[in-house]
């Protein structure tokens, strides 16, 4: 079996009951979002056979309340209206299946496979504001990398907070991954340079770089992150190979405004959405995909190591409707 990172896994192919277990955990993690979308949809179609303008108004409210955002909600409503007009959809009992198809289309964004074999060490910068779970996410990603037979390295480039360095060290000990660090207040770019030097000399496969989520101003933060990019590129041609943005699902539409700022400054290549188990606003996943056109790579639906999951559009949609 080939894992998410494209390496052949050491373990045997998961059993069918394991796959079912993963899906059940995903469903459990998305229970509040499922209540906001699927259960409310069941409520508004109950006792109604036809798809009327009044029903569509109620559907619009359901989608908007689940934090799909204005643009995504209106696109879905318009697509449903067109299907009704073409008489492809005229029975309210089929509305859920139609929405599932439309949502899967929005969430399916093509991405290039990670070239871990040809670009080694493969460098991934993890960015995002404080509190979204960056360091915890790096720890869990490291666990996934090791489970696929890869040799990862952590780089503690968030020198703005002493606690961030300590937290990454704790994760490094927990999952058995070395951490390159300097003292709090050190130049983050210097830490990154040291990290890439170590990765090249010691033969690491993947480098995960933790970064600050807050400096004195937003402008300072973006300048610092862009400097890290430049230093990485100078030390290793083509680095960073990926820039992954971590967003907190519980912030809803605010996550989109954060993403736009980071995308403009850093050229974000993928999104990791955390804390989906703590919100009824999981519809923001669709809003992010629609408005940013950046692939969602991973989602967090709990505290356990295995609760950071590769994002699968079909699996996600089934979990919020099942």
| 159-198 pLDDT per residue, tens | 998 899 999 999 999 999 999 999 999 999 999 999 999 9
Q: What is the pLDDT of residues 55-80, one digit of tens each?
A: 999 999 999 988 899 999 999 999 99
pLDDT at residue 1 in the model? 28
Rounded distance, CA 204 to CA 209, Å? Answer: 13
Mean pLDDT of all residues belonging to the chain: 90
Task: Give ∠ CA 233-239-242 in degrees, rounded to 5.
Answer: 140
pLDDT at residue 3 in the model? 56
pLDDT at residue 162 in the model? 85
Pairing of strands 206-210, 122-127: parallel
Kindly tell me the burial class for residue 8, based on how many C-beta atoms sit within 10 Å of its own C-beta (0-12, 13-18, 19 or more): exposed
Confidence label for 47 from pLDDT (cuts 50, 70 and 90): confident
CB-side exposure of 87: number of CA atoms within 13 Å? 0
Rounded distance, CA 6 to CA 115, Å? Answer: 8
Q: Which of 24, 107, 29, 109 is nearest to 68 (CA)?
A: 107
Q: Which of 222, 229, 247, 258 is nearest to 297 (CA)?
A: 247
Mean pLDDT of 195-207: 97
Strand partners, 273: 247, 299
pLDDT at residue 199 in the model? 98
Confidence label for 21 from pLDDT (cuts 50, 70 and 90): confident
Rounded distance, CA 168 to CA 171, Å? Answer: 5
Which residue, chain included where needed, has tokens 């610092």? 224
Rounded distance, CA 320 to CA 25, Å? Answer: 12
pLDDT at residue 7 in the model? 52
- Estimate to the nearest angstrom the gap between the alpha carbon of 235 and the chain centroid: 28
pLDDT at residue 216 in the model? 55
Rounded distance, CA 292 to CA 315, Å? Answer: 21
Mean pLDDT of 228-236: 96
Domains of the chain, start order: 29-107 (1.20.120.140), 122-312 (3.40.50.300)
- Whether the full predicted model's pTM is greater than 0.95, yes or no, is no
φ/ψ of 3, rounded to 5, equals -85, -175
pLDDT at residue 153 in the model? 98
Q: Which of 184, 171, 107 is nearest to 134 (CA)?
A: 171
With a pLDDT cut of 90, the percent of the chain lying above it is 70
Task: Give ∠ CA 315-117-138 in degrees, rounded to 5.
Answer: 55
Mean pLDDT of 20-45: 88
């Amino acid at each position: 079996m080939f894992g998410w990172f494209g390496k052949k896994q050491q373990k045997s192919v998961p059993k069918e009951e394991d796959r079912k277990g993963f899906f059940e955990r995903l469903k459990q993690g998305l229970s509040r979002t499922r209540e906001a979308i699927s259960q409310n949809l069941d409520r508004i179609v109950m006792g109604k056979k036809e798809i009327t303008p009044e029903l569509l108004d109620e559907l619009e409210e359901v989608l908007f309340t689940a934090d799909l955002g204005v643009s995504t909600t209106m696109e879905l409503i318009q697509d449903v209206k067109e299907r009704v007009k073409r008489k492809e959809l005229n029975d309210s009992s089929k509305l859920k299946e139609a929405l599932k198809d439309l949502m899967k289309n929005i969430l399916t964004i093509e991405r290039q496979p990670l070239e871990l074999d040809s670009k080694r060490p493969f460098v991934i910068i993890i960015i995002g504001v404080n509190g979204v779970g960056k360091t915890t996410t790096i720890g869990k990603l490291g666990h996934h990398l090791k489970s696929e037979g890869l040799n990862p390295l952590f780089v503690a480039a968030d020198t703005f907070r002493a606690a961030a360095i300590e937290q990454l060290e704790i994760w490094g000990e927990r999952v058995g991954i070395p951490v390159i660090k300097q003292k709090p207040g050190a130049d983050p770019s210097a830490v990154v340079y040291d990290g890439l030097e170590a990765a090249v000399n010691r033969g690491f496969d993947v480098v995960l770089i933790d970064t600050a989520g807050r400096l004195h101003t937003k402008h300072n933060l973006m300048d610092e992150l862009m400097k890290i990019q430049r230093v990485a590129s100078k030390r290793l041609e083509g680095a960073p190979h990926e820039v992954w943005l971590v967003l907190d699902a519980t912030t809803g539409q605010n996550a989109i405004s954060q993403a736009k700022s980071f995308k403009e400054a850093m050229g974000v290549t993928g999104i990791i959405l955390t804390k989906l188990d703590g919100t009824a606003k999981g519809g923001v996943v669709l809003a992010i995909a629609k408005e940013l056109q950046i692939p969602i790579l991973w989602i967090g639906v709990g505290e356990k190591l295995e609760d950071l999951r590769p994002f699968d559009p079909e699996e996600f949609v089934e979990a919020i409707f099942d």
